[in-house]
């Protein structure tokens, strides 16, 4: 065993990794991100669930092994051969989990209201690249761990119990909080080096601060309502349902405006209806009330006025999302938006458009698409 360990220490691979250790961790982080981008699809798929649970379990085990390595716990064991790779594995699993969350979050059409949550995600996940000790900084290490753990459970628990609401979010957060604190205390108890590097009270305060911050974001509706995702949202002239197919007629943008489905200016004739069409992905068997909140911008008061709040129930399981629409007659000219929200007020997305009324207002580029 000692001869094998000595041979490994002098191997070309180990020397190469040690030489470029500064960049290797970041490369493994990006590797986890890219791998998930090509393999993950929908949160309730068996493959996705297995991958997420495997990432979270592997991250927990690797963090435990890594934090005990400084105490010489793995001396003269097979694990000593792989101590150099523990930080790389941690980065890979952090990258894999973060990419999975970004993939599921980004399925939502509008991120404008929840962008601050993504900025926090990016800052927390990239902070280790700018700290001197990088992943060996235990405050950063356990802070990141709790953040991804919290997000993991807010995804997984609603999928397994087929229900999502404020109570489920609170339970998910508490499960993550308790498990994380027990994990940190366990490492603190068995690792003398950890006890010299951190103050347990400060560590607990950091975790509680992250916990409180996420809940504050939830309270102010700044977190996307995972695992729901808005896949399509269109301001339309007409929506027809024929043989379980939704035929949506809307004005298209110029060819070079490829990032937007419908035109922001909607030509409208008096007496006609304006439609808001959405398709919302939800995991299998989850049922949820969704609302289309129609708002008109009052240019005099400089405020958005809610004119209608129309709700309907969705059922999860369809790959392309549960389709639904609402419509409004007697529409005023001016700026409009339709907020797509849950019953708790969490915003899935926003349909922005401007109504231009006139007898001669004929739409120039109109198409009918099947959903």
Residue 264 belongs to a domain: yes
Q: Is residue 295 part of a domain?
A: yes
Q: What is the pLDDT of residue 5?
A: 45
Where is the domain boundary, 198, 219, 240? Answer: 219
149 inside domain: yes
Please check whether residues 214 and 260 belong to one and the same domain: no
Same domain, 209 and 248: no
* Low-confidence residues in the chain, pLDDT < 70: 1-33, 37, 106-135, 359-364
Label residue 244 left, alpha or beta by phi (over 0 means left) and psi (-120 to 50 means alpha).
Answer: left
Residue 21 is predicted with a pLDDT of: 58
Range of the domain at 32: 2-219
What's 309's domain CATH number? 2.60.40.10
User: What is the model's pLDDT at position 122?
Assistant: 61
Give the three-state DSSP class for 119: helix
In a domain, 346, yes or no: yes
**Residue the block writes with tokens 């999502």:** 164
pLDDT score for 17: 56
Q: Is residue 201 situated within a structural domain?
A: yes
pLDDT of residue 80: 85
Whole-number pLDDT of residue 60: 97
211 and 75 housed in the same domain: yes
Which of 181, 196, 219 lies at the terminal end of a domain, its last residue? 219
Residues 147 and 285 in one domain: no
Separation of alpha carbons 65 and 228, rounded Å: 35
* Whether residues 181 and 252 fall in one domain: no
Please give the Cα distance from 193 to 68 (Å, whole number). Answer: 8
Residue 224, domain member (yes or no): no
Domain match, 268 and 152 both: no
Shared domain check, 246 and 212? no
Q: Same structural domain for residues 289 and 315?
A: yes
Instruction: Measure CA 360 to chain center.
Output: 44
What global pTM score does this model have?
Answer: 0.81
Residue 227 has what pLDDT?
84
Give yes or no: residues 192 and 315 share one domain: no
- 10 Å CB burial of residue 272 (0-12, 13-18, 19+) is middle
What is the DSSP code (8-state) at residue 331?
A: P
Are 82 and 187 found together in one domain?
Answer: yes
List of E strands, 282-332: 287-298, 303-315, 322-328
Task: Tell me, yes or no, whether 338 lies in a domain.
Answer: yes
Of 150, 185, 219, which residue sits at a domain end? 219
pLDDT at 120: 62
pLDDT at res. 102: 74
Same domain for 188 and 234, yes or no, is: no
Tell whether 161 and 279 lie within a shared domain.
Answer: no
Distance CA 112, CA 76 (A): 53
First vs last C-alpha separation in the chain: 62
According to the model, what pLDDT value does residue 112 have? 54
- Number of structural domains the chain divides into: 2
The predicted pLDDT at position 26 comes to: 63
Residue 314's pLDDT is: 93
Say if 280 falls within a structural domain: yes
């Amino acid at each position: 065993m000692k001869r094998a360990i000595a041979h490994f220490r002098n191997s070309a691979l180990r020397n190469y990794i040690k030489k470029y250790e500064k960049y290797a961790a970041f490369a493994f982080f990006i590797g986890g991100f890219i791998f998930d981008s090509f393999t993950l699809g929908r949160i309730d798929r068996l493959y996705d669930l297995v991958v997420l649970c495997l990432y979270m379990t592997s991250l927990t085990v690797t963090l435990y092994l890594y934090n005990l390595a400084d105490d010489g716990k793995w001396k003269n064991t097979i694990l000593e051969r792989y101590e150099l790779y523990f930080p790389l594995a941690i980065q890979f699993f952090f990258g894999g989990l973060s990419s999975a969350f970004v993939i599921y979050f980004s399925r939502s059409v509008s991120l404008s209201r929840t962008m601050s949550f993504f900025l926090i995600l990016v800052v927390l996940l990239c902070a280790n690249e700018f700290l001197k000790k990088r992943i060996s900084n235990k405050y950063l290490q356990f802070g990141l761990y709790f953040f991804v753990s919290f997000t993991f459970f807010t995804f997984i628990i609603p999928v397994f119990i087929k229900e999502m609401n404020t109570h489920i979010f609170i339970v998910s957060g508490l499960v993550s909080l308790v498990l994380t604190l027990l994990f940190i205390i366990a490492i603190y108890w068995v690792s003398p080096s950890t006890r010299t590097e951190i103050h347990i009270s400060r560590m607990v305060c950091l975790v509680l601060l992250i916990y409180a911050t996420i809940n504050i974001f939830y309270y102010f509706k700044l977190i996307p309502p995972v695992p729901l995702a808005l896949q399509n949202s269109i301001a339309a002239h007409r929506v027809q349902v024929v043989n379980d197919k939704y035929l949506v007629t809307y004005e298209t943008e110029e060819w070079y405006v490829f990032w937007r489905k419908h035109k922001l200016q909607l030509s409208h004739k008096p007496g006609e209806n304006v439609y808001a069409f959405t398709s919302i992905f939800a995991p299998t068997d989850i049922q949820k009330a969704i609302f289309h909140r129609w708002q008109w911008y009052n240019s005099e008061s400089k405020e958005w006025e809610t004119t209608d709040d129309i709700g309907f129930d969705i059922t999860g399981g369809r790959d392309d999302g549960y389709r639904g629409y609402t419509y409004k007659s007697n529409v005023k000219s001016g700026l409009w938006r339709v907020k797509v929200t849950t019953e708790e007020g969490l915003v899935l997305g926003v349909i922005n458009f401007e109504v231009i009324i006139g007898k001669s207002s004929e739409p120039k580029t109109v198409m009918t698409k099947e959903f």
